[in-house]
A = this chain, B = another copy of it.
Amino acid sequence: MEKIFQDGITASCPLPITEHSTVQLGHGSGGKMMNDLISRLFLWAFDNPVLNQMDDHAALDISGTKLAFSTDSFVVDPLFFPGGDIGDLAVNGTINDIAMSGAKPLFLSAGFILEEGFSLTDLKRIVVSMQRAAKEAGVVIVTGDTKVVDKGKGDKVFINTAGIGLIEHNFSISAQAIQPGDAVILSGTLADHGIAILSQREGLSFETTVKSDTAALHSLVSEMLSAGGTAVHALRDPTRGGLAATLNEFAASAGVGIRLDEQRIPVTPAVAGACEMLGIDPLHVANEGKLVAIVAREKAESVLKAMRQNPLGQHSVIIGDVITDSPGMVSMQTKLGAWRIVDMLVGEQLPRIC
């Protein structure tokens, strides 16, 4: 711990940033290594109350207008996969980060990093997919940027989207609002996106094609808020790191325990089969069109009912509850009746999933 800069910036640095001296794939995993890098480098350097909330969006007040602001870069490989492509993923992903604040997504930016030699036909296909996703979601892509890097210094195309949404409600939807007794609701089947990417990448084929669940969830959220109001305590889309990462973050932030019932967690037979074959836990696999909601118990059934009326939430279920015991820990009763701890992954299981 030492001051290394002399320009008024607090620079007592918690070095080493991690136990590694170089970037590892695990630093992009959504798991412990990524959290470590974020808190020990980015939060340390950029330290401010908004960022320190560690939400996937920033809640801002500009001249009395309450906005949600978020960004995501997309580096998924392959670019095209069953159910979607990097284009609709980039639009839906940022919409979802904004939607999880309860905001209405309005505007997106789009930044492209193109590799020299990348097919313009593929680029067009991706851009048309973004156009369609934006139109479907009712958001407008209002500003952008294009950079080109020399061949071998990128990988076809990376897309960054940032988005702005309008927060129209007057309460805070955040991990801090989670209370013991709350219900944990999942909006549908787990692990579809990650397994779709992995199957495509590895050339695996199953009896049924597993499709990515990429979708914009803001309408679902809006209907949940109409049904549940302030009873909707926390919302998040379990992308990288999967449901396990999201719930562990919730448990840690709120200082509560979370208890799941494996039997109630929906996984399609094709995904369950793929996970078993590959030795992957569906709780750790990325989703791109699902959300987890933590809702006050007395409103849980009405929120669930509203969710099931939306095609994107038709398989919604209560999968567990929030408890006072074992704060910071997520546990699950397995189908066989035993209890296990659901931990966050340390490093990378499936790189470049989004």
Contacts and interface: CB of A to CB of B under 8 A. Distances in A.
Interface of A: 5, 7-9, 11, 13, 15-18, 20-29, 34, 37-38, 41-42, 45-46, 48, 50-51, 56-58, 60, 62-65, 67, 69-75, 77, 106-107, 109-121, 123-124, 127-128, 130-132, 134-135, 140-150, 152-155, 158, 160, 162, 164, 166, 348, 351-352
Most buried by B among A17, A25, A117, A148: A148
Given A9-B128, A69-B107, A111-B73, A24 B116 contact: yes
A130 B46 contact: yes
Most buried by B among A23, A51, A74: A23
29 contacts: A11-B128, A18-B120, A21-B119, A21-B120, A22-B120, A23-B114, A23-B119, A24-B116, A25-B150, A27-B114, A28-B114, A34-B146, A38-B144, A41-B123, A46-B130, A46-B134, A48-B141, A51-B140, A62-B65, A69-B109, A70-B143, A71-B109, A73-B111, A73-B147, A73-B160, A75-B113, A77-B153, A149-B158, A153-B155
Contact of A58 (B119, B134, B143): B143
A32 to B, nearest CB: 14
A25 to B, nearest CB: 5
Given A57-B143, A147-B28, A352-B150, A123 B71 contact: no
Given A143-B58, A148-B351, A113 B73 contact: yes
A266 B111 CA distance: 33
B45 A131 contact: yes
B73 A124 contact: no
Given A41-B124, A58-B143, 12 more contacts: A5-B128, A17-B120, A17-B124, A21-B119, A24-B148, A38-B146, A46-B140, A57-B143, A111-B160, A147-B158, A149-B351, A149-B352
Contacts of A146: 27-28, 34, 37-38, 42
Contacts of A71: 109-111, 143-145, 160, 162
Given A9-B132, A120-B22, A120-B23, A50 B145 contact: no
A165 to B, nearest CB: 9
A147 B110 contact: no
Nearest to A46: B141
A7 B134 CA distance: 13
A9 B136 CA distance: 10
A116 to B, nearest CB: 5
B18 A51 contact: no
Contacts of A106: 60, 62
